[in-house]
Amino acid sequence: MSHVFPRHCHTQPPVAVAGDGCFLIDASGKRYFDGSGGAAVSCLGHSNDRVTQAIKDQLDAVAFAHTGFFTSEPAEQLADLLIKHAPGDLDRVYFVSGGSEAVEAAIKLARQFHIENGQPERRHLIARRQSYHGNTLGALAAGGNAWRRQQFAPLLVDVSHIAPCYEYAERRADESQFDYGQRVAQELEEEILRLGPETVMAFMAEPVVGATLGAVPAVEGYFKRIREICDTYGVLLILDEVMCGMGRTGHLFACDADGVAPDILCIAKGLGAGYQPIGAMLCSDHIYGAVERGSGFFQHGHTYVGHPVAAAAGLAVMQELLDRDLPSRAHQLGQHLESRLHAMFGQNPHVGDIRGRGMFRGIEFVQDRDSKTPFDPKLGIAAKLKKAAFAEGLICYPMPGTRDGRVGDHVMLAPPFVATEDELDAALDSLQRAINQVLPR
Ligand code: PMP
């Protein structure tokens, strides 16, 4: 009997014993193509020498130095590189151990900023339905995934949730893409006015929605309108790029494609590429400046903030991304992926939507394509697909539809950027075999 909490109580997963490029290998020697990079984590694959060497070198130098006393060379260098390439005027970095911690830090910094600025009445956070921002209580409260929140609802702080920008399911037939985006963005202004603008602290969104919708980017113009609304009312814009950042969408930062820069940006997953747990919150100078001039320190902290070994891994990952121009590679491979997905599944009567950007793609399955009716959740399409694909040696990230019937079962693909076109094609063949086994004909 294993004493480790497995993901699901009645299933014991295989033991991963090795990584080889885009493949994971279990104890029986079976190879799995990592078609989702775990959960959009492993952007460099599993055996990157530069990153593993950087970790070993840092361990040999100094494994840990608490940030209450020290900073470290890799943390300073990684922050410099991130800021050099970050959107807008982001110019300070706070390192944490993962995505939820980055989101928690963002929420608390937004609150502290307004207090330092003499506006302590600003305390409301607005986010979106069908979003995911993490599993710690603050991040879970921000997320709009009804199923994940349900049992913990009594413990969660109050957050308003407006509509996501989810064109496939929500755009009306008589509406242009642009008008749809403006209409849903307008919900933010309405909610700010309803709450009272002087009480609103921040708006939080994922530029490309990952874990809840499966790689859904916003339509053109949506985030520009969101930015305008935030500026009008002095509301901070927090973008959560924990899943879609670090080159995954074909841009180093996903919001670059939307032409907006946030006040606070959260990243994680691809930052450590799975080699070390690391996340970061980036903020602009006017936010940090208010804290610096005010109480002089951010009222937050975790023991492993700025961990030197994690920072060394993050620095090596960032250098790999930049030196090998991997965001461009993600863009180019993503185009290949997109055209193969359309060619292979575009005519399938149960494929409702194929979407995403770069190496971040989603397929949504429906019972009926014309009415976009999702499958009955009792059929467990997503879970069956995961199992069938895994048996075929493919790791993909399937998600069940939402219980309110607005989102169908879908599967997310987020392969390493170092995959070859042949590897991707073979993975899609495996996915096709899994889909053929699971979906009704
Ligand atoms: N934000 C987003 C957008 C995410 O996708 C995730 C993880 N799936 C998180 C936050 C939480 O990150 P972590 O699991 O590292 O805490």
Question: Residue 9: which pLDDT band, with cuts at 50, 70 and 90?
Answer: confident
How much is the CA Rg of the chain, to the nearest whole Å? 21
Q: 127, 159 in Cβ contact below 8 A?
A: yes
User: For residue 405, what pLDDT is reported?
Assistant: 67
Indicate if the pLDDT at residue 1 is higher than 80.
no
List the structure tokens of 81.
Answer: 């590189």
Which residues sit opposite 31 in a β-bridge? 25
Q: Whose CA is nearest to atom 5 of ligand 1?
A: 243
437 CA to middle of ligand 1, Å? 31
Please state the rounded mean pLDDT for residues 57-79: 98
Instruction: Quote ipTM for the complex.
Output: 0.99
**H-helix or E-strand spanning residue 76:** helix 73-85
Side-chain-facing half-sphere of 407: CA atoms under 13 Å: 31
Q: pTM to 2 decimals?
A: 0.98
pLDDT in tens, 130-148: 999 999 999 999 999 888 9
Side-chain-facing half-sphere of 357: CA atoms under 13 Å: 26
431 CA to middle of ligand 1, Å? 25
Please state the rounded mean pLDDT for residues 276-298: 96
List the structure tokens of 330.
Answer: 């993600």
Q: 412, 399 in Cβ contact below 8 A?
A: yes
User: For residue 146, what pLDDT is reported?
Assistant: 87
DSSP-derived 3-state class of residue 220: coil
User: For residue 402, what pLDDT is reported?
Assistant: 73
- Cα torsion at 381, 25, 37, 358 (round to 10°)? -100
312 CA to middle of ligand 1, Å? 21
206 CA to middle of ligand 1, Å? 10
Question: Residue 193: which pLDDT band, with cuts at 50, 70 and 90?
Answer: very high
Q: Which atom of ligand 1 is nearest to the CA of 136?
A: 16
Percent of the chain with pLDDT over 90: 93
CB proximity list for 264: less than 8 A, separation 6 or greater: 106, 109, 110, 202, 236, 237, 238, 239, 281, 282, 283, 284, 287
pLDDT in tens, 330-344: 999 999 999 999 999
User: For residue 404, what pLDDT is reported?
Assistant: 67
Q: What CA–CA distance (Å, rounded) separates 423 from 196?
A: 53
Q: Give the closest residue to 131 by CA, choosing from 200, 190, 208.
A: 208
CA angle, residues 187, 189, 191, in degrees to nearest 5: 70
List the structure tokens of 170.
Answer: 């929500």
Tokens 């055996």 — which residue? Answer: 47
CA separation, residue 17 to residues 11, 30, 309 (Å): 18, 10, 22
Q: Which atom of ligand 1 is nearest to the CA of 268?
A: 15
38 CA to middle of ligand 1, Å? 12
CB proximity list for 118: less than 8 A, separation 6 or greater: none
pLDDT in tens, 216-238: 999 999 999 999 999 999 999 99
Q: Which atom of ligand 1 is nearest to the CA of 211?
A: 5
Q: Tell which one of 243, 248, 399 to mutate to probe ligand 1, the residue whose CB is within 8 A of the most ligand atoms.
A: 243
User: In this structure, how many other beta carbons lie within 10 angstroms of the beta carbon of residue 91?
Assistant: 18
Q: Which atom of ligand 1 is nearest to the CA of 243?
A: 5
Q: DSSP character for 368?
A: B
User: For residue 115, what pLDDT is reported?
Assistant: 98
Please state the rounded mean pLDDT for residues 55-79: 98
pLDDT in tens, 344-401: 999 999 999 999 999 999 999 999 999 999 999 889 999 999 999 999 999 999 998 8
Order of strands, edge to edge, in the sheet holding 394-395? 16-20, 23-26, 31-34, 394-395
Q: What CA–CA distance (Å, rounded) separates 364 from 94?
A: 36
CB burial of 4-37 (b: ≥16 within 10 Å; e: otherwise) equals eeeeeeeeeeeeeeebebbbbbeeeeeebbbbbb
Indicate if the pLDDT at residue 403 is higher than 80.
no
List the structure tokens of 339.
Answer: 């055209």
DSSP-derived 3-state class of residue 152: helix
Indicate if the pLDDT at residue 441 is higher than 90.
no
Indicate if the pLDDT at residue 10 is higher than 90.
no
100 CA to middle of ligand 1, Å? 6
Ligand 1 first shell, C-beta below 6 A: 39, 98-100, 103, 132-134, 206, 210-211, 240, 242-243, 268
| Phi, psi values for residue 399, rounded to 5° | -135, 140
Q: Give the burial class of 272: count Cβ atoms within 10 A of its Cβ; 0-12 exposed, 13-18 middle, 19 or more buried.
A: buried
Domains of the chain: 16-47+325-438 (3.90.1150.10), 51-323 (3.40.640.10)
Q: What CA–CA distance (Å, rounded) separates 368 from 370?
A: 6
Q: Whose CA is nearest to atom 9 of ligand 1?
A: 134
Q: Give the closest residue to 322 by CA, choosing from 46, 156, 86.
A: 86
- Cα torsion at 8, 387, 381, 399 (round to 10°)? 60
Q: 65, 75 in Cβ contact below 8 A?
A: no
Q: Tell which one of 133, 137, 265 to mutate to probe ligand 1, the residue whose CB is within 8 A of the most ligand atoms.
A: 133
Q: Which atom of ligand 1 is nearest to the CA of 103?
A: 10
User: For residue 190, what pLDDT is reported?
Assistant: 98
Q: 151, 184 in Cβ contact below 8 A?
A: no
40 CA to middle of ligand 1, Å? 10
Tokens 């599967």 — which residue? Answer: 411
Q: Which atom of ligand 1 is nearest to the CA of 240?
A: 3
Order of strands, edge to edge, in the sheet holding 90-96? 90-96, 279-284, 264-267, 236-240, 200-205, 124-128, 160-162
Q: Which atom of ligand 1 is nearest to the CA of 131?
A: 3
